[in-house]
Amino acid sequence: MTQSAAVPTRWLLYAMGGGMGHVTRATALSRGLLQISSAGTRVTLLTNSSFADEMPIENELGKRAEIIRIDSKLSRHQTVAEVQRVFTSEAFDAVIVDTFPRGIAGELAEILPGLNCRKVLVHRDLNPKYCQQYRLADFVKVYDRLIVPGEAAPFEHLPNAISTKPWLVRNDSELLQPDQARCRLAVKGNSLPVVVVLGCGRADEIGQMHAWAMQLADEFVGTLEVRFVVMKKLDSLSMRNKKPPNFKVVSIWPFFQAIRGASIVVSGGGYNSVNEARAAGIPFCGIPRKRLYDRQHKRISSNDCVERFEDLRTQIENNILNVSMQSSGGVAFRNGVQEAVNAIQVVMA
């Protein structure tokens, strides 16, 4: 796609919030924006994810991107000050805010109306009480465009809102083929199914997933290969001196590139985990985590939901061990990032 002369040269992406969801989604959109832009285009990605220090975002976006990592341990007041400093440090052509219209701490409420640039909201599901408390139905009017990335959202019917497919950090042509993906997951051969357990979320949740992965490996030696994929390895994890021979800890980000090496993915119910498995056609087991804003129970289907280890064991026995292995190498999908980029270009014209 050729670049329009009206496409801006300076983007600011606001991806504040815990976990890896906001920053991964912003990385996916940044990749799409940079791919259609001129050499002079620059992207600034702002995040305070506790995982950001370990995420090689620069490798994903290249030299035309600046990643500003705000320490997740800062106080609310310090975080607000840092965000406001970035927003007023220079003139941006467009600001793209993920999920929180007023900012994660309300710090954008006074800044955004006065900014002389295009404003885009990545509009996702929000708790109705949050919307009513802060009168978001009125505030979202400050945005030139609302883009709904693949899931229902409260203001999706506004005239300036547009819905897309879920945003993914890789297109289907960029995913590793099953044999290559299994190699990336440190799996030798193709004889056994591979259970990938994602270690993400809070420290206690990562610990729980690690324990479940180890238990699966113990119970299914010679039957399953188990991989615990983690971005941030915690010292608190219980690491036995002697691990099952079918268990390994692997560090990959973004994991999506290697998803075709998995026979099933086990994770929390975050945006990226669920949508990536669906897009690639990989069976999924999700634990709906409690979050202040992200209502994960709405995202995970009843057939994929697990609450206890016994539920997970049953799912794996029924859906993986009792069915023939099938290659997912031919599954194609459409990445909503391109639709989003097109929608943003229209606003900028």
pLDDT exceeds cutoff 50 at 267: yes
pLDDT in tens, 212-242: 999 999 999 999 999 999 876 556 565 555 6
Domains detected in the chain = 10-168+335-348 (3.40.50.2000), 172-321 (3.40.50.2000)
Alpha carbon 34 to chain centroid distance? 19
Higher pLDDT, 331 or 76: 76
Q: Using the 8-state DSSP alphabet, how is residue 113 labeled?
A: G
Q: Strand 284-287 vs strand 145-149: parallel, antiparallel, or unpaired?
A: unpaired
Q: Which of 90-94, 145-149, 245-249, 296-300 has the lowest mean pLDDT?
A: 296-300
> H helices within the chain, ranges in order?
21-35, 57-61, 76-87, 128-133, 136-139, 178-184, 203-219, 271-280, 296-299, 309-316, 336-348
pLDDT of amino acid 238? 56
Query: How many Å apart are CA 280 and CA 266, to the nearest integer?
Result: 14
Query: How many Å apart are CA 174 and CA 181, to the nearest integer?
Result: 12
Q: Are 193 and 320 in contact (CB under 8 A)?
A: yes
Q: Which of 76-85, 123-132, 236-245 has the lowest mean pLDDT?
A: 236-245
Please state the rounded mean pLDDT for residues 53-82. Answer: 95
pLDDT of amino acid 7? 54
The per-residue pLDDT of the chain, averaged, comes to: 90
User: Model confidence at 1, in pLDDT bands (50, 70, 90)?
Assistant: very low
Residue type, 339: E
Please state the rounded mean pLDDT for residues 96-111. Answer: 94
Look at residues 229, 228, 222 and name the one whose alpha carbon lies nearest to residue 245: 222
User: Model confidence at 3, in pLDDT bands (50, 70, 90)?
Assistant: very low
pLDDT of amino acid 2? 41
Q: Are 166 and 180 in contact (CB under 8 A)?
A: no
